[in-house]
Chain A
Amino acid sequence: MATQTIVRKPSGPQRAGRRRTGRGSSGLTFNPKRPAWKEPASPLYQAIKAVVLGLITLSIVLPILLVVSTSLADDQQLVQAGGFVLWPTHPTLASYQAIFSGQFMFRALGVSAVVTAVGTVLALFVTITMAYATSRPVLFGRPVLLLVLFTLLFAPGLIPMFLMVKQLGLLDTLWSLILPGIFGAFNFVVMRSFFMNIPQELIESARIDGAGDFKILWKIVLPLSKAVVAVVGLFYAVGFWNAFFNAMLYINDQTKFPVQLVLRNYVVQGGGLADQLGIATTPPPQSMQMAIVVVALLPILLVYPFLQKHFNKGVITGAIKG
């Protein structure tokens, strides 16, 4: 086909555009407009695509909307609608007042907040120092790196972990929810590959000026790594917030239950809500269950935009691809 002229014209800018986004970034933001060589969209495919994407979107948005709305709905509307509403006509915080009227839910929220905050700070500290220390060829760097990477291959197992936590005297303390989670090999790999891409010249010149490695890390490397620190920190935070099994395993004392365990016990297992929460009068159990779900969900929804912002920068995929 003699389409030289047709092909030539768009080829320059299009190619450049595609390439640019193919590098480094995960390519989530390219394609300002349809390339000239692409045939116009067929209405049939367009329709199929729209339906598929629409259904997927609905399957995710609807349950969340349903839960949030029902937790806010008043009794009357709930009874009329038969238990579920998609939009509260007279939004009320009654079920939230109810679940927080006892001490129980407050404490759970506090436990989750403390574990998440302390855990994330410690996790960032351990991960950053370890990732930086192995990001350049230094003494012991290689064997230590292998010690870390081995954790990707094998897990010590649940029972030995339990015995270890018990041996350390951490059972029934918040430390049992924090310490076993302060280092993740995946986050380490993400962090380390970011550090390795920092130009050596910067570090070298700081050394010549007499800076030690701690100072270099703090003054030069970290300010350049804000994006990756934010992403890894958020990953850790989400992980700590979401963890429920370690609480089930290590915590017996009800006053130290995190939110996820409360959610599991009183929503998934359907335990006696009012008795346990120490509440006298109750709104419909359904909306109280929903309120607990929302309490567990809300922090994730709040940090999600910050997390999501960084996906486009290829911080994560860049590391996965090596």
Chain B
Amino acid sequence: MSSATSQAPSVPAPGRTLPPAGQGGRPQTRKKASAAGRKSLGARWKRDRQMVLMMVPGLLFLLLFFYIPILGNVIAFQDYQPFLGILNSDWVGLQNFVDLYFDPDFWVALRNTLVLALWQLLLFFPVPLGLALIVDSLISTRIRRWFQSIVYLPHFLSWVLVIALFQQVLGGAGLVNNELRHLGLDAIPFMTNPDTFPLLATVQLVWKDAGWAMIIFLASLASIDGSLYEAAAADGAGRWRRMWHITLPGLRSIIILLLILRIGDILSVGFEQFLLQHDAVGPGASEVLDTFTYFAGVVGGGWSMGAAAGLAKGVVGAFLIFAANKVAHNLGEPGIFSKKAG
């Protein structure tokens, strides 16, 4: 918002000398008006009614598919029965959360979620950074373009497609195991071994999204002042010294920001990826909080308990993101909300 309003004073305000059809100016007149006393609601409505009308479709969407469903979370405190509906189901207080606490499956799901998040943090997070450094060091524009076109592509493939491709290559009847059998070796159950599943899942994520995640680092790299490198080179700094003293400090902001955001979002490790491999690997390794909600609630018919799990995750997750944003602010980084709002 600030950038829009800050432009205002530089433009001469047309003010009230407008012809009637003009309905008064936009932000400019508002600025002026607020100095002389705020415009009345009626005048603003008259001026802005078309804009307000434009908000209606979006607001309708938010109401139907965001805010009312949020209220629907009250079934987490009920013994919800579909045939009774929300209005007639019995209230049970925190019973569903107590049940959740004593449900071993829930703890398995929570553990898997945290384990996968840790793997993602250790294995996924550094890859785009490394890739961006390599790509940034490429001199040939043509190679850069080609490489970028190729590594961004998997981001746009659906998880179903990604898993299908992995199956064709690494699955039991896939390319690699076919070759192994040809050579008289035993097949390796890449896709079905629960013990190695976190590694497999992280590799899948790297394959799909590491290239795309690189884009934000590349943008930051491009905004580092080139004369810094030049001066350092003139002073005799080699390529590693330049990377250590210029590149990495230049990326510090964005690295901290992304890291904090990732930690704030630690309860979300992905959903479709794990749902799709639920049968092949078994819930012991692939059940995460989101799939637990689905299987307990929709498949198992435990609507209230599923909603309780979803609500607990949502509230803790929102709190974590909020806290992470605070930490980012305290470290002097812009954080996510101030940015998106600005």
Contacts and interface: CB of A to CB of B under 8 A. Distances in A.
B18 interface: yes
A84 B8 CA distance: 64
Interface residues of A, number: 130
Among B61, B161, B306, max chain A CB count under 10 A is at B161
Contacts of A304: 153, 156
Given A35-B226, A164-B72, A196 B4 contact: yes
B287 to A, nearest CB: 15
> Taking chain A's interface residues, is the majority helix, strand, or loop, or is none over half, making it mixed?
helix
A148 B58 contact: yes
Contacts of A47: none
B125 interface: no
A60 B64 contact: no
A160 B69 contact: yes
B293 A158 contact: yes
A321 interface: yes
B22 A210 contact: yes
A7 B230 contact: yes
Nearest to B236: A1
A212 B49 CA distance: 10
Contacts of A70: 168
A268 B55 contact: no
A242 B154 CA distance: 12
A204 B62 contact: no
Contact of A245 (B25, B157, B222, B271): B271
A288 to B, nearest CB: 13
A82 B182 contact: yes
Contact of A137 (B30, B59, B271): B30
A229 B138 CA distance: 31
Contact of A140 (B11, B50, B52, B154): B52
Interface string A30-71: 111111011101000000010011001101111110110010
B198 interface: no
Interface string B325-340: 0000000001011011
A91 B211 CA distance: 32
A317 B69 contact: no
Interface in B281-337: 290, 293-294, 297-298, 303, 306-307, 310-311, 313-314, 317-318, 321-322, 334, 336-337
A139 to B, nearest CB: 4
Contacts of B86: 163
A254 B160 CA distance: 18
Contact of B75 (A38, A145, A160, A286): A160
Given A149-B341, A183-B61, A304-B153, A158 B303 contact: no
B26 A204 contact: yes
Given A133-B51, A244-B158, A320-B219, A31 B72 contact: no
Nearest to A49: B134
B50 A268 contact: no
B149 interface: yes
A207 B23 contact: yes
A134 interface: yes
B298 A159 contact: yes
A249 B295 CA distance: 11
Contacts of A137: 1, 4-5, 27, 30
B272 interface: yes
B247 to A, nearest CB: 13
Contact of A126 (B1, B58, B207): B58
A3 interface: yes
Contact of A267 (B45, B55, B164, B233): B164
B27 A136 contact: yes
Contacts of A164: 64-65, 68-69, 72
A309 B73 CA distance: 42
A200 interface: yes
A28 B148 contact: yes
Contacts of A49: 134, 137-138
Given A57-B150, A130-B58, A159-B310, A207 B26 contact: yes
A268 to B, nearest CB: 5
A38 B226 CA distance: 11
B122 interface: no
B91 interface: no
A251 B182 CA distance: 42
B222 A27 contact: yes
Which 6 pairs of residues, A with B, have the shortest CB-CB distance?
A27-B222, A130-B58, A160-B72, A18-B226, A242-B158, A157-B310
Interface of A: 1, 3, 6-7, 10-11, 14-15, 17-19, 21-23, 25-35, 37-39, 41, 49, 52-53, 56-57, 59-64, 66-67, 70, 82-84, 125-127, 129-130, 132-142, 144-145, 147-149, 151-164, 168, 179-180, 182-183, 188-189, 196, 200-201, 203-204, 207-208, 210, 212-214, 217, 238, 241-245, 249, 260, 263-264, 267-269, 286, 289-290, 293, 296-297, 300, 304, 307-308, 311, 314, 316-317, 320-322
24 contacts: A11-B227, A15-B225, A18-B226, A22-B224, A28-B218, A28-B222, A31-B141, A37-B229, A38-B229, A53-B143, A60-B207, A83-B173, A133-B58, A136-B27, A140-B52, A142-B1, A153-B318, A153-B322, A182-B61, A183-B62, A213-B48, A244-B158, A268-B167, A293-B165
